[in-house]
Amino acid sequence: MKCNEIDINPANPIVMGILNATPDSFYNQGRESSLDELLHNAGKMIDEGVTILDIGGQSSRPNAVLVSVDEECSRVLPILKMIRAEFPRVLLSIDTFQSEVARLCIEHGANIINDISGGDMDDAMMDIVAQYKVPYVCMHMKGTPQTMQNQPAYDNVVKDVYDFFVVKLQRLHSKGIDDVMLDVGFGFGKTLEHNYQLLSAMSSFLSLNKPLLAGISRKSMVYKPLHANAEQALNGTTALHMIALQQGASILRVHDVKEAMECIILHKKLTESGKTLSSD
């Protein structure tokens, strides 16, 4: 698929940089940041090679307190406007499940809507996306941020998430929305084992013919097996990013752009070398 003439596919993976405009993010990068600090972080990510900046004004960590449309807009609109003015060519994504936030942000220059609920938390979201004809990231989440980690259970997590996407894609297509990216939702209503089952089988979602987004960066699926914390999880994140790329991810959603770009470069080199060897 194309987004503002940028081709998004597994052959040329790209990086989506996380820009948190929230006071309670699970990882401290961006926490309590001023507008100047957020703008500086945006510029740094762009210099390091980011293609999309994903701006979030509502924490989605487990048990996060939900904020109103007005509060979320007061967090994201000022930085959205500043980035759009300072960096007019960068793609801007808004991480929201509230349709009114999505609408206002699109009208102020957002290119993509990244919805952790796949439309389940606001029935009007898909209609807004259809009306404004913007690409949509559809993520799987079991429950809500307040309930998702209360003993999540599946018959088969890979099949259940796959079936979820089949239904969502049918609904999106019925509304004329075909520019869709899929996010299996690591950490959103999944146990540690569920997360690794999804990662190991991520390539099975390629049959849905939509770009896959991997949101692994510094999450508990990285640091818990290492007996570490989010601040210590960069090396583990990079290791899992390489696996996600090998499984067909088109987009890495990350806190650390430079390291993710390095991972993409090395993965491309590995892939090219494999093709050369097989053709000899």
Query: Strand 251-254 relative to strand 2-3: parallel, antiparallel, unpaired?
Result: unpaired
CA distance 19 to 31: 9
List C-alpha distances in Å: 265 to 38, 68, 164, 167, 269: 27, 40, 32, 35, 6
Q: What are the CB-based long-range contacts (under 8 Å, 24+) for 195-203?
A: 195/219, 195/221, 196/221, 197/157, 197/158, 198/157, 198/158, 198/161, 199/240, 199/243, 199/244, 199/247, 200/243, 200/247, 201/158, 201/247, 202/244, 202/247, 202/248, 202/249, 203/247, 203/248
Active site residue 219: yes
CA distance 265 to 269: 6
Catalytic residue selected from 75, 103, 142, 219? 219
CA distance 6 to 16: 13
CA distance 20 to 75: 9
CA distance 185 to 199: 10
Which of these, 162, 186, 229, lies nearest to 26 by C-alpha position?
A: 229
Active site residue 253: yes
Catalytic residue selected from 253, 268, 269, 275? 253
Contact call for residues 140 and 185 (beta carbons, < 8 A): yes
Q: DSSP 3-state assignment of 264?
A: helix
Length of the chain: 280
Would you name the residues annotated as active-site residues? 219, 253
